[in-house]
Structure formats: structure tokens, C-alpha cells
Amino acid sequence: MSKLGRRVAAAAEAALAQRKYVTAIDVLTGLGWLHARHVDLWRQGRAADLERLAAVDGARMTDAVAALREWAAERGLTPSETPYVSASRDRAPLRFLSAGDDASFRVHWVSPDMSEARRRQLAERQAKAPDLVVVEAERPWECAGCRDTGPYLIMEDGAPHCLTCADLDHLVLLSAGNAALSRRAKKESGLAAVVVRFNARRRRYERRGVLVEEEALARAEEQCLADEEVRLRRRERDRERREGEDLRFQARMAEQIVRLFPGCPPERAEEIARHAAQRGSGRVGRTAAAKVLDADAITLAVVASVRHRDTDYDRLLMAGVPRSEARERIRAEIDRVLAGWRSPGGGRTG
């Protein structure tokens, strides 16, 4: 197997373990050729094709998808062609490549272990048009229709439009934070759109709320009041279940750290696992690769811990040293700690 084939297989295995199906986007992001924010921009209809956002050209992307097809055939996965439609006002078809046939990018590879009921649910979800997405503007912009501006924009015919020109200005914003109310208001509303804003620190788009019809919001509020106590009990059960899942996952990650670095003190391995796998943190421990205890992902978590705990890295940053230079200065110290941890009883750092 080629080097690219091995990298594709690793990315695909991580996605398959998490969801029981694999897409071309899973592989392209797993290879580091695309970031989640690029995929979001593309799905919003703000890029003519995915290739222009990628770190490689279309030929290289095509090679990766061909390697994915070979890997999927060897694993006995089932192909399922899936429509890709933008979240813009015109629901335009999404393109992967700037030119040429991109049909192979639209194939989802499904595990034979997936139940028939789950397959039907997946097919229904993939066939459904995505939610309309309205973007909370980060910088000054101009509506392609009226040449005015506003706090929100939505793409139509490849250009940004204000809510008035997009016939969405009669909707009201329900801020994020109440999942049940948002879900019910969206269901009751004949027309709705999800509002997102780019978080520069986390480098991803985050949900800010949903635009819904005012009458739909009123009906949803009445429904939530009627079963508030039941939902409170359910939330408490869900919280306890998530806490249990997190503790078990952190324990497995700590065990994998000790397997890879037998000289790492067990209490330090537990600390690394707790930090890296914190729910909602966006850290390496929450990635698809880490969730299947991929050795490279676990190593990245260990390196991050050593960098901040056992070197002068943070002090260098506070002194104004550029990040790339600071990392170069402490590289030897990281290598020294990791070399000690790779041997049983060889680590002294706690």
C-alpha cells in the first residue's frame, strides 16, 4: 500500500469506528487537506467548489478518493451515492472539483455492521435538504440585491444577500441555549434558518440560534411549559450518562498512554487524558482519531501536555517569542521527556 493509501486508511478507519460510515470529506479533513471551517464555507454556498479551499489540487484529492474506494472495497463496505446541496437560499448543488467529474466524491461507504433501521435513517437524513444557514457577519459586507448591509447574510446565486432581499426578514431570532425550544420552534415554523458565527479562536462556525416565525415560537413555548418537569428529569439522566461515558473514555485513553509510554507516571497519564478528552473542549482528545485511541492522536495529546507542563514554552510565549520559534526552542526538551517515557521506569517528570 502506498503512503497515501496508508494515510487514507487511517483517516477512514477513525471515521468508520465513530459513525459506521465514511465519506470523502472525512478522509480529506483527516488528511489535513481541509479544515472544518472550509467545509462549512463550502456548505454555506460561499465557495464555488471545495477544491479551491483545499491545501492540494483536484488531482491529489481524486487520488485520495480512489484510495478510499480501494480500502472500502477491501473492507466490504457498501457504496451509497449521496446528494450534496448547499445551505444557501437557492439550494444550489455543491461541487467538489473546479472541473471534471466529481461523482466519486459523493459516495458514502457504509459498514455492513450498520443495522437496517439505521441505514434507513441515514438514507432519509442524507436525502433531506440541509437547513438554511444565515451567517452573522464578521466584517463589513454589501448585499448583492439592495447594496445595503446588515448583521446577517445568506448566500443566493453565489452572492451574499440581506434577510430582506432573501425574504427572511419576518423571522425572529431564538438564541441558542434551549435545545427543546429550538427544536420545537423550528419544527413548527414553515420557514426557518440556522444562524452561525465564526469563532476565530476555535477556528470554526458555531451555532448562535435559529430564525423562526413568531407564531411558531409562541406555540413551541407553550409545548415546553407543558412538559418541563419531564424534560428536567431526562436531562439529569442524560447528564449522568455522559459523565459515565466520559470517565470510561478517559480511563481507556490513560491506559493507551501508558501502553505507548510505559515510563509515563500513571497519575500523569490520567491527567493528560482528563485534559485532552474534556467534552466540548475541541482538544485533540475529542477528535475522531482519538476516540478510537489512534496512536498518533494519543501521542499529540501527550506532546501537548509535555510542551506546557515540562518546558519553558508558556514563558517564552508570554515574553513575546513567536509561537513557531518557541516550539523550535523547546523541541529537544520534549524529545528528551518522550524518550524517557518510552522506556519502562525511564520517566522522571510527574
Q: What are the tens digits of pLDDT across the range 284-302? A: 777 776 777 888 889 999 9
Grade residue 307 by pLDDT with cuts at 50, 70 and 90: very high
Decide if pLDDT at 250 tops 80: yes
Residue 347: per-residue pLDDT: 55
Higher-scoring residue by pLDDT: 304, 286: 304
pLDDT in tens, 154-172: 999 889 999 999 999 999 9
Residue 123: per-residue pLDDT: 86
Grade residue 346 by pLDDT with cuts at 50, 70 and 90: low
Task: Assign residue 94 a region (left: φ > 0; alpha: ψ between -120 and 50; beta: otherwise).
Answer: beta
Residue 343: per-residue pLDDT: 86
Grade residue 122 by pLDDT with cuts at 50, 70 and 90: confident
Percent of the chain with pLDDT over 70: 98
In DSSP terms, 81 is beta-bridged to 107
| Cell output for 146 | 439592495
pTM: 0.68
**149 near 140, Cβ under 8 Å?**
yes
| Cell output for 338 | 518522550
> How far apart are the C-alpha atoms of 168 and 348, rounded to whole Å?
62
pLDDT in tens, 15-33: 998 889 999 999 999 999 9
Decide if pLDDT at 38 tops 90: yes
Residue 98: per-residue pLDDT: 95
| Cell output for 220 | 413551541
Q: What is the mean pLDDT of the chain?
A: 91
- Residue 264 makes CB contacts below 8 A (sequence gap 6+) with 257, 258, 272, 302, 341, 347
Residue 56: per-residue pLDDT: 96
Grade residue 348 by pLDDT with cuts at 50, 70 and 90: low
Residue 67: per-residue pLDDT: 97
Of 136, 3, 148, which Cα lies nearest the Cα of 64? 3
Q: Say whether 39 sits in a helix, a strand or coil.
A: helix
> How far apart are the C-alpha atoms of 348 and 254, rounded to whole Å?
18
Output b/e per residue, 187-223; b: 16+ Cβ within 10 A: ebbeebbbbbbbeeeeeebeebbbbbbeebbeebeee
Q: What is the 3-state secondary structure (H, E, C) of 277-296?
A: CCCCCCCHHHCHHHHCCCHH
> How far apart are the C-alpha atoms of 14 and 123, rounded to whole Å?
21
Average pLDDT value for residue range 91-97: 94
How many helices and strands, by DSSP H and E, does the chain display? 13, 9
Residue 279: per-residue pLDDT: 82
Residue 228: per-residue pLDDT: 85
| Cα within 13 Å of Cα(150), Cβ side | 20
Q: Residue type for 222, please?
A: E
Higher-scoring residue by pLDDT: 282, 232: 232
Percent of the chain with pLDDT over 90: 75
Decide if pLDDT at 207 tops 80: yes
Residue 187: per-residue pLDDT: 95
Decide if pLDDT at 139 tops 60: yes
